């Protein structure tokens, strides 16, 4: 039996729906400012404290996450300052970034939003570590790019719910890949392209926009191939060693040119990743009632 041909959406149709559907949770200016602040290498704990002190709900969530990370700690963490001193600046920054994004995408769908953000957070942490290894100049930028790399999937779930449901159902029933079904409906405007559009709309830096757009094909990046390669390899690594495979990334494989680029910056990178020697260490970050293994 031949599969019924689906209408392929045009770029204009996709852009029109992105601009007209009001229920999509666009990040507010506070969230954008915080995420961009986290990218800056000059950001200090004091900058973060001043930025979040006007947002009590975010402070509460940070403290909840901090206490869950240190379950059994003899003293309850009751201030962000104390959390910073116990957990460290880097992890606090990661909690803030994750909480901001997670709070904007809380809805059950064909693909669990919880699984999506667990995958995104894992990719972000690995991207940050790769960035350090290859001496990428702005490590925080790699974390943010990793966290946002699949934002286009969230867009599809919210703005194109019917089409996304068809893609997921066909993938499960017919054995075709997510990429094949995605192309059938969205043509060349796949989730990475749409994610790049959204990041641009949110005024993220051109390097983050491009790394999101080309995270599946990093060598096609026009200017920021290094960051795109970092995010690409982090995503594939995250999915390969995750206990729960992400359907929309289940067929991702390492781009040889991206691996070579990172190898040229850090001798031993390929051995470390592809042969699992001295693998990146494992951390556990609690999200809601779940535990994310990184």
Same domain, 167 and 218: yes
Contacts of 195 (CB under 8 A, 6+ apart): 148, 149, 150, 151, 152, 153, 155, 212, 213
pLDDT higher than threshold 60 for residue 208: yes
pLDDT for res 155? 82
- 211-231: buried (b, 16+ CB within 10 Å) or exposed (e) per residue? bbbbbbebeebeebbbbbbbb
Strand partners, 291: 286
Same domain, 52 and 84: yes
Number of domains the chain is built from: 2
Same domain, 54 and 187: no
Q: In the listed set 67, 87, 104, which residue is the last one of a domain according to the structure?
A: 104
Same domain, 133 and 99: no
Q: In the listed set 71, 104, 137, which residue is the last one of a domain according to the structure?
A: 104
| DSSP SS3 for 207 | helix
Is 61 part of any domain? yes
Query: Domain containing 178 — which CATH number?
Result: 1.10.3210.10
Is 12 part of any domain? no
Is 16 part of any domain? no
Secondary element (H or E) of residue 291: strand 290-293
Same domain, 196 and 133: yes
Name the residue range of residue 97's domain: 25-104
Higher-confidence position of 23 and 127: 127
Return the sign of the alpha-carbon dihedral for residues 201, 145, 36, 55: positive
pLDDT digits (tens, 9 = 90+) for 177-198: 888 888 888 888 889 998 998 8
Is 1 part of any domain? no
Same domain, 145 and 177: yes
Same domain, 188 and 256: yes
228 pLDDT tier (thresholds 50, 70, 90): very high
pLDDT for res 212? 96
7 pLDDT tier (thresholds 50, 70, 90): low
Same domain, 78 and 132: no
pLDDT digits (tens, 9 = 90+) for 63-95: 877 777 776 677 777 887 887 777 777 677 667
Same domain, 268 and 151: yes
| DSSP SS3 for 168 | helix
Same domain, 151 and 271: yes
Q: How far is CA 73 from CA 67, 86, 282, in A?
A: 8, 10, 20
pLDDT higher than threshold 70 for residue 35: yes
């Amino acid at each position: 039996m031949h599969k019924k041909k689906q209408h392929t959406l045009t770029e204009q149709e996709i852009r029109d729906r992105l601009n007209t559907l009001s229920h999509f949770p666009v990040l507010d200016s506070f969230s954008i400012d915080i995420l961009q602040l986290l990218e800056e290498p000059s950001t200090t704990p004091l900058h973060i404290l001043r930025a979040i002190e006007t947002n009590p709900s975010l402070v509460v969530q940070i403290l909840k996450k901090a206490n869950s990370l240190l379950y059994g700690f003899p003293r309850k963490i009751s201030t962000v300052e104390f959390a910073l001193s116990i957990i460290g600046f880097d992890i606090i920054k990661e909690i803030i970034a994750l909480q901001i994004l997670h709070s904007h995408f809380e809805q059950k769908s064909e693909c669990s939003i919880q699984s999506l953000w667990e995958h995104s957070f894992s990719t972000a942490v690995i991207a940050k570590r790769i960035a350090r290894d290859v001496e990428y100049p702005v490590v925080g930028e790699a974390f943010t790019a990793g966290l946002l790399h699949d934002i286009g999937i969230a867009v599809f779930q919210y703005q194109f719910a019917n089409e996304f449901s068809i893609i997921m159902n066909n993938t499960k029933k017919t054995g075709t890949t997510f990429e094949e079904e995605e192309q059938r409906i969205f043509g060349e405007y796949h989730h990475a392209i749409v994610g790049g559009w959204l990041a641009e709309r949110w005024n993220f830096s051109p390097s983050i926009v491009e790394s999101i757009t080309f995270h599946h094909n990093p060598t096609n990046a026009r200017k920021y191939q290094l960051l795109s390669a970092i995010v690409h390899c982090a995503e594939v690594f995250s999915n390969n060693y995750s206990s729960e495979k992400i359907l929309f990334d289940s067929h991702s494989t390492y781009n040889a040119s991206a691996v070579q680029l990172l190898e040229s910056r850090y001798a031993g990178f390929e051995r470390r990743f592809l042969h699992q020697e001295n693998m990146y260490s494992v951390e556990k970050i609690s999200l809601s009632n779940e535990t994310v293994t990184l």
